[in-house]
Structure 1
């Protein structure tokens, strides 16, 4: 069915970048991923966020932009709400528009009647990272970047490699020397150059940053890059459109670096500020007890991720000891009146199996973390039986068949 002609052609908002640490601002014409303002000890290096300035006819412009997107698919239905100057030429593999389905049997088992799962693993490379990869690689293509650089042996590496291939941009992915071959192969199959680095995880990041060099290469920085995070907010848009007036009371997801968590909150806040929804959900972080710096900080009432002694965990996708967006994540928890829940490996694997048995959904262990967390919240009475909950299942079980 063809949509009727638009009564108004939307004007794109102007885009600026703002440092959340020092307040410095930049245009989006310069390929930045972190703040480069001068600081006492070198450069600031703070996390950047994207600010939009819409024309004066705010409601008309945004509603026209949303209506225009009805003829498109995936995250590019929201092209006018993303920081691209040329939305007509996106880099896409069909990401977004992931299913939102009820979990009646799992919910009944835990005394909850309105549990929904957002199947983010139903994505081209099998994880939610495709939203961010599409956005950041599209921006890089807009700038004419000659090489993408990423440091990840997991879902982010596979996504950046695939979308770089789609855009025709060479890609280098830096991984720990110990990275399992099974994780590296999908990255190599997309044509990326895999660079194995000896030493600690921080050494891998340092090598990637050193490789960026003269500015012809661009650091995708999935845990830090503002354009990556902007792609993530489209998941919130999809949930809010799908549920209509039934705004979720709670959203819960596994959190490592927090790009999806921050993106979801940003998307909900935007819709609330535009009066498209009346409220935002309570946001909940779920982490493995083996690596839970945000849980520790939340429990201590701290504004910063807490130092931890990392232990091995089956939830390798969220093993981030020092999340760059930690302060922001903790502020979202406070503002939304959410929580941070620790779950152990036994509970993670049990809920992975239970989800498959009761609902027929196969996810990787990291994606089962929020289910284990939701079970704890339900048992503690933090989530009521008739409240609407959206759980984000972030990675396919095919990525970890063990």
Structure 2
């Protein structure tokens, strides 16, 4: 178990606002004291990046909020990318690759870093967990569906119809893993609204997204793996973001590792125009690092047009409700790290995807293409020094390669729901799912 004893917790949970400390039950998402919205964070009983007793994700079990680990779960693969760096004007570029790339011994089962969060969240759960309710644009749902199938954890996944393209697995899903598909014009944000209602059903519980310490710390293992490979923290960390959860997790991991006086890596979060709410909140509404109280202003944000949510190439980045002003959220970590939010378009992202495959020899996901394109533009503009030690998180890759190498089975939805529109849609979906669940309960009796 790599330094983690089953059923025991080697950490406490601390509120970022008031400092209240909690013994974790595996499901806790929020502080119960009255104050501003604030993330909980983990406080571990030991330091160090790994246990030395296992490989993959759970070699970092001492810095993960888990009471059990799972065998054979791969982790990120970090390597120097000299040729790619030269192509974009950087001398010290490193890649954290999260996906399927056999030549690099990268074997994340659903080809994105969402696998890291899924297994960590499952390892945090109590022995008899409720049904986890999880909205997704595709990658998170795929990761949780396969992890929960392998370890028999009940999940209810809510996705817009295009997400089904990502839901292909080596075997059929466990019957307790149920996928609700929103047909028609439903978006990722609509899936989030539906999941909020479904999580209130008896026996169900919101997985929590960015509020879940398991999710953030699991994604933060990218920074832990980088510190192992580099022997230090990078100067700059670059990642495409929707909610910003992965970048927050990387910042929290770096804060645990850094030595006294060492600056945390500068976070460069990247979004995909024409729908870039975090970019607008940070830059276009006066939310520069000197502004202590930026806000998400939907009326003044040119990249926040709701009707354009379908247009970005990287739909996984289209989160309408990112944790921007939450204590410990996006605004805070950008400010603490001296970071910035970058934005690029679909054409640049496609070019970057082609460049990566040409130079490195593996396909990457649209979100990773957004990050590479934004980094290249920042390097050309002099916003990243040529000699800067940069870690680029390739958040997903190798999906096309995996499809060639392995026989994969498309997932069968448990329920498909015609999307009636944003106003009445979430409640109509919740009522339909409730009827289906009631019918299953009656049949079981």
- Which bin holds the TM-score, normalised by the shorter protein? 0.7 to 0.9
Cα drift, residue 175 of structure 1: 1.8
Give the Cα separation in 2 of the matches to 1:203 and 1:341: 25
Cα deviation 1:42-90 (Å, max 9, x = unaligned): xx8x453223163xxxxxx535xx56x1011122122222223x3xx31
1:70 is the counterpart of 2:52:
yes
Cα deviation 1:284-327 (Å, max 9, x = unaligned): 01111122111112213322334221421111111112212555
2:89 maps to what in 1? 111
Asked whether the 8 Å contact 2:40–2:211 carries over to 1, the reply is no
Cα drift, residue 30 of structure 1: 6.3
Q: Secondary structure at the match of 1:127?
A: coil
Asked whether the 8 Å contact 2:220–2:246 carries over to 1, the reply is yes
Out of 144, 151, 157, which is 1:167 matched to? 151
Judged with a 3 Å threshold, the aligned counterparts in structure 2 of structure 1 residues 187 and 223 are, in CA distance, closer, same or farther, namely farther
Query: Which of the pair has the greater relative contact order for Cα pairs under 8 Å at 6+ separation?
Result: 2
TM-score by length of 1: 0.82
| Runs of 4+ off more than 6 Å | none
Judged with a 3 Å threshold, the aligned counterparts in structure 2 of structure 1 residues 253 and 209 are, in CA distance, closer, same or farther, namely same
Cα drift, residue 357 of structure 1: 1.1
Give the Cα separation in 2 of the matches to 1:153 and 1:292: 16
1:120 maps to what in 2? 98
1:263 is the counterpart of 2:261:
no
Cα drift, residue 190 of structure 1: 2.6
Q: Secondary structure at the match of 1:70?
A: coil
Out of 28, 52, 55, which is 2:24 matched to? 28
Out of 200, 224, 236, which is 1:250 matched to? 236
Give the Cα separation in 2 of the matches to 1:22 and 1:143: 29
Asked whether the 8 Å contact 2:77–2:225 carries over to 1, the reply is no
Q: Secondary structure at the match of 2:370?
A: helix
Judged with a 3 Å threshold, the aligned counterparts in structure 2 of structure 1 residues 22 and 202 are, in CA distance, closer, same or farther, namely farther
Cα drift, residue 92 of structure 1: 4.9
Give the Cα separation in 1 of the matches to 2:200 and 2:321: 24
> How many pairs align?
368
1:81 maps to what in 2? 63
Cα deviation 1:135-187 (Å, max 9, x = unaligned): 111112x34204222111411001111111122112211123x3354234559
Give the Cα separation in 2 of the matches to 1:322 and 1:187: 33
1:58 maps to what in 2? none
Contiguous gaps of at least 5 residues in structure 2: 101-107, 288-293, 299-303, 404-445
Judged with a 3 Å threshold, the aligned counterparts in structure 2 of structure 1 residues 289 and 201 are, in CA distance, closer, same or farther, namely closer
2:414 maps to what in 1? none
**Aligned-CA RMSD value:** 2.9
Residues 3-402 of structure 1 correspond to what in structure 2 (within 5 A)? Answer: 13-18=10-15, 20=16, 26-29=22-25, 31-35=27-31, 46-52=37-43, 54=45, 61-62=46-47, 69-84=51-66, 86=67, 89-96=68-75, 98-122=76-100, 123-140=108-125, 142-176=126-160, 178-179=161-162, 181-186=164-169, 189-191=172-174, 192-197=177-182, 201-213=188-200, 216-245=203-232, 247-272=233-258, 275=260, 278-299=262-283, 300-302=285-287, 303-307=294-298, 308-310=304-306, 311=308, 312-325=311-324, 327=326, 328-398=329-399
1:3 maps to what in 2? none
Cα deviation 1:327-362 (Å, max 9, x = unaligned): 521222222122211101111001111111122131
Give the Cα separation in 2 of the matches to 1:329 and 1:187: 36
